[in-house]
Amino acid sequence: MKNLIRIRKYIMRPLVLSCCLFLISCDDFVTIDQPNSQLTTDAVFENATTATAAMVDVYSQMRENGLFTGKSFGLSCLLGTYADEMVSYENGAYTTADFYNNSLLASDAFVSLLWTSSYNQIYAANAVFEGVGTSSSIAISDKNQLQGEALFARAITHFYLLNLFGDIPYVATTDYVYNSTIPRMSTEVVYQKIIADLEMVIQLLAVNYTSADRTRPNKATAQALLARVFLYHGDYAESANMASAVLNDTSNYIWEDNLDAVFLKESTSTIWQFAAGSEGANAYEGSTFIFFSGPPQLVSLSDGFVSAFEPNDLRKSHWIKTVTEGSTVWYHPYKYKQDLATGSSMEYSIIFRVAEQYLIRSEARARQGEIIGAREDLNKIRHAAGLSDTDTTTLATLLEAILQERKVELFAEHGHRFFDLKRFGKLNDVLGLKPGWNAGDQLWPLPQAELLVNPFLKPQNPGY
């Protein structure tokens, strides 16, 4: 298999390896051959231990490859350069150059990798969901947890694909014959499927985490994602309610005032994160973004982005590092401060954290005309950064303040900036200053190889 994901070490490694070869035994999601493995599906899902190992491996795939990885080909880096957060210093194929120059083609290798790895991960999640569902030997409580996690992984991956590519297939089965001709579905249909999955996840997952490191989703993780989904979909009352459900869970989440502790793996404001691949390893974001001399080999924060911080904003001094060589100055994200392995892991890659939920609720409240509540949530974020209350008094200025606060709070985190500009209708206004930007760049091209294999995916997105 061309895109086989590296398998990490787990208990009973040979068994799990065979399981994973079954779960992702395909070149891509549209050309799935009937799986052949040394271990049958029934054997993989005959007990909770092996079934859990299969689900955990889905997370390792998500950490190592695809949309959520902290490596240079994940969205934190690629969308940072595609928008206005970062400058790329790379050239050639398999680099960030085409994203920074907004010159993507349907043949781009990174676009193809993200598409294929995402649908491989969706396929693997579906295999867990189906296998656990038909198992007669796994306890109901374990079934609920594992099926909830599988649906969550499926929902979040489709959500990101939807916001990158527009109309997409929503793959909810491992039926390789059906998947080989599955068409694109309208954005509205996909949103409804995501919402339905997450509402089921909320019913299945427990309030408490299965482990203290928060590397497997709980009920609040699904609520946090659904709060974001509702916000993007324009369901503002529902979005505010979901965010409130998370923020009211004070037994699990405690606001972290120390900016240097927010991205530590023990942070009490973390909702969900990826464990490191081995003991002593840290989040990939550190090694991706940190550099010590210039010019940078990969990317740096743009001067325009760095200048967007208000005077005395503590996030600028705690979450951005300056590198100087002669009279030239560069900046890099410094939320994750470990670029190498340490004696024991210090930082995991955070996917959801409490601060975003305050910003989600602030925007959702504002769009419903609840100005006072929206300001209170916004000020919670500002106070942690050492800033005074916002002085906005109108809905228009409040929304602008929320967009600005999201910019300086969530930078270099899984493409928030690009998605925010898109949601606020400001992509062309802000990114139109980039030489390569075109109005059609709000969507990425579907990989040309996928269109050739499955003509039901046509038409290609406009402009490509």
How far apart, in whole angstroms, are the C-alpha atoms of residue 198 and residue 211? 21
Phi-psi region of 119 (alpha: psi -120 to 50; beta: other; left: phi over 0): alpha
The Cα 151–Cα 144 span in angstroms is 11
Residue 329 to residue 62: CA distance in whole angstroms: 34
The pLDDT value recorded for residue 437 is: 96
Q: What is the pLDDT along the chain (464 residues), one digit of tens a residue?
A: 333 333 232 223 333 333 443 444 444 444 433 334 334 567 889 899 999 999 999 999 999 999 999 999 999 999 999 999 999 999 988 999 999 999 999 999 999 999 999 999 999 999 999 999 999 999 999 999 999 999 999 999 999 999 999 999 999 999 988 998 999 999 999 999 999 999 999 999 999 999 999 999 999 999 999 999 999 999 999 999 999 999 999 999 999 999 999 999 999 999 999 999 999 999 999 999 999 999 999 999 999 999 999 999 999 999 999 999 999 999 999 999 999 999 999 999 999 999 999 999 999 999 999 999 999 999 999 999 999 999 998 999 999 999 999 999 999 999 999 999 999 999 999 999 998 999 999 999 999 999 999 999 999 999 99
Residue 14 has a pLDDT of: 30
The verdict on residue 292 lying in a domain is: yes
Q: Specify if 310 maps to a domain.
A: yes
Measuring CA to CA, how many Å separate 450 from each of 136, 143, 161, 272? 37, 34, 14, 32
CA–CA dist 390, 274 (Å, integer): 34
Evaluate whether residue 131 is within a structural domain.
Answer: no
Geometric angle at alpha carbon 414, from 183 and 229, rounded to 5°:
55
Strand residues in 185-292 grouped as ranges (E): 270-274
Q: Is residue 95 part of a domain?
A: no
Quote the pLDDT of residue 41: 64
Sign of CA dihedral 189, 191, 197, 202: negative
Nearest partner of 421 among 74, 75, 82, 66, judged by Cα: 82
Residues pairing with 333 in the sheet: 320
For residue 249, give Cα distances in angstroms to 2, 207, 252, 439.
Answer: 43, 9, 6, 41
In a domain, 71, yes or no: no
pLDDT reported for residue 43: 82
Q: Is residue 130 part of a domain?
A: no
Residue 156 lies in a domain: no
Q: What is the spatial distance between Cα 270 and Cα 215, in angstroms, rounded to a whole number? A: 10
Give me the domain span that covers residue 307: 234-411
Among residues 87, 100, 101, the alpha carbon closest in space to that of 294 is found at 87
Query: Does 135 fall in a domain?
Result: no
Q: Which residue has the tokens 């973004």?
A: 289
pLDDT for residue 37? 38
Q: How many CB atoms are closer than 10 A to CB 268?
A: 14
> What is the CA 161 to chain-centroid distance, rounded?
10
> Of 26, 8, 211, 226, which Cα lies nearest the Cα of 126?
26
* Number of compact structural domains in the chain: 1
Locate 296 and state its tokens.
């940078």
User: Residue 40 phi/psi, 5° resolution?
Assistant: -75, 160
CATH of the domain at 336: 1.25.40.390
Both structure tokens of 4: 């086989």
